Amino acid sequence: MSTTTSDMVTLLLGVGGILLFASSVGYVLQRKLSPDGSNGAIENLNARIKAWWAMVFLIAIAFIAGRVGVLLLFAFCSFAALREFITLINTRRADHWAIAAAFFLALPINYYLLWAEEYGIYAIFIPVYAFLLMPIIAVLRGDTQNFLLRISEVQWALMICVFCASHVPALLTLQIPGYEGRNVLLIAFLVIVVQSSDVLQYVWGKLFGRTKIAPKLSPSKTVEGFVGGVASATLLGTSLWWITPFTPLQAGVMSLIITLMGFFGGLVMSAIKRDRGVKDWGHLIEGHGGLIDRLDSVVFSAPIFFHLTRYWWSLT
Amino acid sequence: MIRDLLAKLASVAIMMFARALTAARALWHESGLPPRQSVYFANHSSHGDFILIWAVLPPWLRQRARPVAGAEYWLKSKLTSFIGRDVFNAVLIERDPAARTSDPVEQMASALDEGASLIVFPEGTRNQTEAKLLPFKSGLYHLARKRPDVALVPVWINNLNRVMPKGEFVPIPLICTINFGEPLKVEPDESKEDFIARAQAALLSLAPAQTDNDA
């Protein structure tokens, strides 16, 4: 067994152990406090834990399937996220072709370029080509009402749901000396740090949360949850330095940046939800809401993590 | 035999496609699932409307649900008639009174007598206007009078008009919700106008608050 595979197995066992623990706690809480399923918070907690099992299972399958598996998984995530996003924005009939192009051209081409490892084109395809071509497609229909608003929203949707989200699998294209063949562990590192930060903020907030941190944006987020979650997720990330090309100190700094970007990304996406008057982006994941509700922090941290790693560690 | 098999396959394929595209989700009324035999009446903005209702119904309700559709449209070509007749077992009615050989209300009533549920669009045609709902035709009232015991279930289909607006042939993926309301029946002494107004109001009450999506 290669070291990459054995490290992956160790990680999965660790995550599985934590989920087993979470499931047992959830079970005990449910028996004690909500035997008839009447305690909403506990039912939601258990729905979330169940969904976590499914998500970890899916990610594990994608990792086993290799590069194509990871690309397909994130292409699907982008598709579902883009669908949630476009559902909530201002569109008019004149945007039909531009939106169809976003789904059926921009999204597949973006992931194809990653598969083909055409980094140079990938990095500008949505920010430059799609950015210029989509408003052209829209303007040909001659409808000027809310035009700037409409084209901005579609471009923003593409940037967030496709371009930024695809920086997770883009980690596979980095060439880091001494780290060959282990890039999939960088994805594991990013996903574990971001998601554990979300979960730990939730746990710290539930246990010790007193002071609301952004009452207008997200009433459930507290200062205590933020500080405790970020600190403990950063510690967790530091302790995972052995799966990365980083030293423990570097892994810690990276984790801190990832968790902060994730936190603020969550706030940005919440502000959009509030503006649109919805509580969740969708209903894809039981207990969690939509896919974007789970992905928001990853989307904001992935490109920064990718570029920091690329700038300082990668040859490409 | 082969035709039946093809129809079965096509129905599964169409349902999977509709679900993959729209992540269609039913919101049931608080009183629970609709009665086994119902007349679902819905807003109409797209050819996909009845497919979406049909796709979100649980299997035991779906099996008996038959869309009521315009014969002149569905009998236009071999493909549409295969889809209309074999796949969805539609009750095909003649919308143009001059071309009628049988009474549409009579056709619907006899389908109900055979145990079917019906999916109808009382606006009569696809709504292409800015208005949320076009005024209902009177067919729903006459059907309700003929078979007063069958529950009439209002169903609001949200967003499908944005998935595939008229004149477009590439659908775009958007999340659609299908909102089922409280079943209603015609009162013994209710006038046609009163009943139609009540049915329209019941359907409209299921529509989400006006957003600036169509501003």
Task: Please list every residue in chain A whose beta carbon sits closer than 8 Å to the beta carbon of residue B165.
Answer: 93, 96
Q: Which residue of A has its CA nearest to B21?
A: A83
Asked whether residue A1 carries a pLDDT value surpassing 60, the answer given is no
Predicted local confidence at residue B212, as pLDDT: 45
Same structural domain, A214 and A313: yes
**Rounded Cα gap, residues A19 and A310, in angstroms:** 32
ipTM reported for the complex, 2 dp:
0.81
**Rounded Cα gap, residues A165 and B64, in angstroms:** 43
Instruction: Let me know if residue B172 belongs to a domain.
Output: yes
Task: Please list every residue in chain B whose beta carbon sits closer than 8 Å to the beta carbon of residue A100.
Answer: 170, 172
Same structural domain, A150 and A103: yes
Contact status of B126 with chain A (Cβ, < 8 Å): no
Phi, psi of B141 (to 5 degrees): -65, -45
Instruction: Let me know if residue B144 belongs to a domain.
Output: yes
Asked whether residue A214 carries a pLDDT value surpassing 50, the answer given is yes
Identify which has the larger pLDDT, B73 or B14.
B14
Instruction: Let me know if residue B215 belongs to a domain.
Output: no
**Rounded Cα gap, residues A293 and A212, in angstroms:** 20
Same structural domain, A57 and A72: no
Q: Tell me, what amino acid is at B17?
A: F
Same structural domain, A179 and A307: yes
Nearest CB among A87, A93, A100 relative to B170 is that of A100
**Rounded Cα gap, residues B129 and B159, in angstroms:** 15
Q: How many domains does chain A have?
A: 3
Same structural domain, A180 and A291: yes
Same structural domain, A183 and A301: yes
Mean pLDDT value across chain A: 91
Same structural domain, A166 and A178: no
Tokens representing A199 are 């979960």
Same structural domain, A140 and A161: yes
Q: Range of A8's domain?
A: 1-65
Phi, psi of B185 (to 5 degrees): -135, 160
Q: Which residue of A has its CA nearest to B27?
A: A283
Element (H, E) at B179: strand B177-180
Asked whether residue B211 carries a pLDDT value surpassing 80, the answer given is no
Q: Please, is B29 exposed, middle or buried when counting C-beta atoms within 10 Å of its C-beta (0-12, 13-18, 19+)? A: middle
Phi, psi of B178 (to 5 degrees): -120, 115
Element (H, E) at B163: helix B160-163
Q: pLDDT per residue over B43-86, tens digit each?
A: 998 888 889 999 999 988 998 999 998 888 888 888 888 888 88
Same structural domain, A228 and A123: no
Same structural domain, A220 and A289: yes
Instruction: Let me know if residue B213 belongs to a domain.
Output: no
> B interface mutation test: which of A82, A92, A96, A284 has the most B CBs within 10 A?
A96
Q: At what angle do helices A67-88 and A107-115 cross, to 10 degrees?
A: 160
Considering A136, A170, A204, which residue would you say is the last residue of a domain?
A170
Q: pLDDT per residue over B115-131, tens digit each?
A: 999 999 999 888 888 88
Which of A191, A227, A224, A192 has the alpha carbon at shortest distance from A205?
Answer: A224
Identify which has the larger pLDDT, A306 or B49.
A306
β-sheet with B91-93: strand ranges across: B25-27, B177-180, B151-158, B38-42, B117-120, B65-70, B91-93
* CB within 8 Å of A46: residues ≥ 6 apart: A26, A27, A30, A287
Tokens representing B66 are 């038959």
Q: pLDDT per residue over B19-46, tens digit each?
A: 889 888 888 998 888 988 999 999 998 8
Strand positions, DSSP E, A236-309: none
DSSP per residue, A268-287:
HHHHHHHHHT-SSS-SSBTT
Whether B153 contacts B180, CB under 8 Å: yes
Which whole number is the average pLDDT over A224-246?
94
pLDDT above 70 covers a percentage of chain B that reads 97
pLDDT above 90 covers a percentage of chain A that reads 61
Are A99 and B172 a contacting pair at CB < 8 A? Answer: yes
Identify which has the larger pLDDT, B97 or A63.
A63
Same structural domain, A52 and A110: no
Contact status of B130 with chain A (Cβ, < 8 Å): no
CATH of the domain at B90: 3.40.1130.10
Q: Range of B194's domain?
A: 2-207
pLDDT above 90 covers a percentage of chain B that reads 40
Predicted local confidence at residue A173, as pLDDT: 93
Task: Please list every residue in chain A whose beta carbon sits closer than 8 Å to the beta carbon of residue B214.
Answer: 92
Instruction: Let me know if residue B40 belongs to a domain.
Output: yes
Asked whether residue A114 carries a pLDDT value surpassing 60, the answer given is yes
Highest averaged pLDDT of the listed ranges A58-67, A128-137, B125-134: A128-137
**Lowest mean pLDDT, pick from A38-42, A51-55, A235-239, A298-302:** A38-42
Residue that is written with structure tokens 């499914």 in the block: A54
Tokens representing B137 are 């035709």
Element (H, E) at A261: helix A248-276
Same structural domain, A52 and A111: no
Which whole number is the average pLDDT over A8-31?
90
Predicted local confidence at residue B213, as pLDDT: 44
Q: How many domains does chain B have?
A: 1
Contact status of A292 with chain B (Cβ, < 8 Å): no
